[in-house]
Amino acid sequence: MASELIKGIRAQGDRCLMIDLGDQIDQAVGLRCLTLADSLRQASLPGVLDIVPSFTAVAIYFEPSTVIGDDPVAYLTGVVQDIIGQIAEGAQLTARRIQIPVCYGDKHGPDLEDVAKRMGLSPEEVVQAHHGSICRVYMIGFAPGHPYIGIHDERFALPRREVPRTALPAGSLGIANRQSTIYPNVLPGGWHIIGATPLRLFNAKAAQPTLLMPGDEIEFVPIDDHQFDEIKAQQEQPA
């Protein structure tokens, strides 16, 4: 059973080992990637510099000279196989639960009306469907602190916009392909923007620069314009 969970293990040069667990976005595969990454971090392996999960794989970055044994790839492969066995036996992911306040629609969500038409719902029903269940951060990518959150139900299986925007405000909440994302800074993007959060997702000067991490459980909480402005003002105050 454990061996069946691994689709492939491959060295990416002499300082990275890639563990493939799937080939498409799938909730079960994504959760296994997160659990493997979490277990590897808890193992505090000598020589391992970083562990980066995605929806389908986990990358292990290491310093060859400080990994146990003469063959770092063989050693790390053995560790991964042991941990995969634990996951197959029911090892659980340790995760935080984080609330993300979102002001949906109007100036904060210019695509909400169009998304509602595409989904055959009212804007209110889209909002309800979006925040009505707990989601999870499956990976961070594209830009520092930029989360990929999901996996939403089939109604959110919308392709990205045909014409991306060249600049989206920080905090913009977008949906596409049954996922949500939040733009941590002013960035270009082609996702459908249905709202925005006043929270600051990335702060390079902070001890922990990213607000969200892979594995975090996300609860979207609707707020109004007044609440948005209040929280935004608090975020901008010096620590």
- The predicted-structure confidence for 214-238, as pLDDT tens digits, reads as follows 999 999 999 999 999 999 999 877 6
Contact 215, 93 (CB under 8 A): yes
In whole angstroms, give the CA distance from residue 24 to residue 95.
23
Q: Residue 195 sits in a domain of what CATH number? A: 2.40.100.10
Instruction: Based on the fold, state whether residues 76 and 49 are members of the same structural domain.
Output: yes
The residues with which 97 forms a beta bridge, in sequence order, are 217
Q: Which two tokens stand for residue 75?
A: 């050693």
Cis peptide before 151 (omega within 30 of 0): yes
Tens-digit pLDDT profile for residues 164-217? 999 999 999 999 999 999 999 999 999 999 999 999 999 998 888 999 999 999
Domain span at residue 16 reads: 2-88
Q: In whole angstroms, what is the distance from residue 52 CA to residue 197 CA?
A: 25
Place of tokens 């493997």: 36
Judge if 231 and 185 occupy the same domain. Answer: yes
Of the residues 88, 111, 139, the one at which a domain ends: 88
The closest of 44, 89, 92, 90 to 66, measured between CA atoms, is 44
Query: Among 31, 53, 88, which residue terminates a domain?
Result: 88
Contact call for residues 195 and 128 (beta carbons, < 8 A): no
Do 33 and 134 lie in a common domain?
no
pTM (2 d.p.): 0.90
* CATH number of the domain bearing residue 80: 3.30.1360.40
Q: How many domains, in total, are found in the chain? A: 2
